[in-house]
Amino acid sequence: MSVINSPTTWSAWATDRVYRMLRAERMSRKRARLVAACVVNFAGPGKGHRELRYRVRPGKGGWFMHEMVGGDAHEEPQEQVNFVPEAAVWRLWRIVKKLVPCSAKYRLSTDRHEVPEDYRFSLPDVALALRRKKLFPRGMDTLSIGGGKRRARYYFPLYLYPCRVLDSLGLIRFGKTSWRLE
């Protein structure tokens, strides 16, 4: 579950500020108000996650993901910005809704062992659904989507980035094994 900020004057100010920015991008009033409240009230993935090195923010037609990449004892990590189209996120959400039932009982679970197998999904399950939608080339093996030379072309834009957006919106819990929250 995403961590919800406590209501303060700051959150009201921030919601209005985000709302004005979205309206400047010609988003409808109702949608801008909903997205602004979602952005300000959710602080990202909740407890049970490791230290996260990314933040998700809305943009026109999708979300921007600011991610810290690289870095070790000898160099600083670099910020990388990726755009996640709204269509990719909602495509993945429809797939997850068909694959996995929802249960309010596991909404507050932080460990994947607390959630039964029937309520969890993983990359191979989603990869088979993406293959049925013909989003992969003909000869591509669905088991190799997470690695190899096609990782940047298929794994990141079709699975990883949309999962992170859905996780920050509070719709799924994303990790080694993921499950549906709503």
Distance CA 82, CA 66 (A): 7
pLDDT in tens, 2-54: 334 334 444 565 667 677 777 777 778 777 777 776 665 544 554 445 556 78
> Above pLDDT 70, what percent of the chain?
77
pLDDT along the chain (182 residues), means of 10: 40 66 76 69 49 79 86 81 93 90 72 79 83 79 73 86 87 77 69
| Tokens standing for residue 3 | 């961590």
Q: Could you tell me the residue ranges of all domains in the chain?
A: 1-43, 44-180
Distance CA 2, CA 168 (A): 7
Q: Is the pTM of this model over 0.85?
A: no
Least Cα distance to 126 among 106, 151, 97, 86 occurs for: 97
Are residues 75 and 148 in contact, defined by beta-carbon separation less than 8 angstroms? no
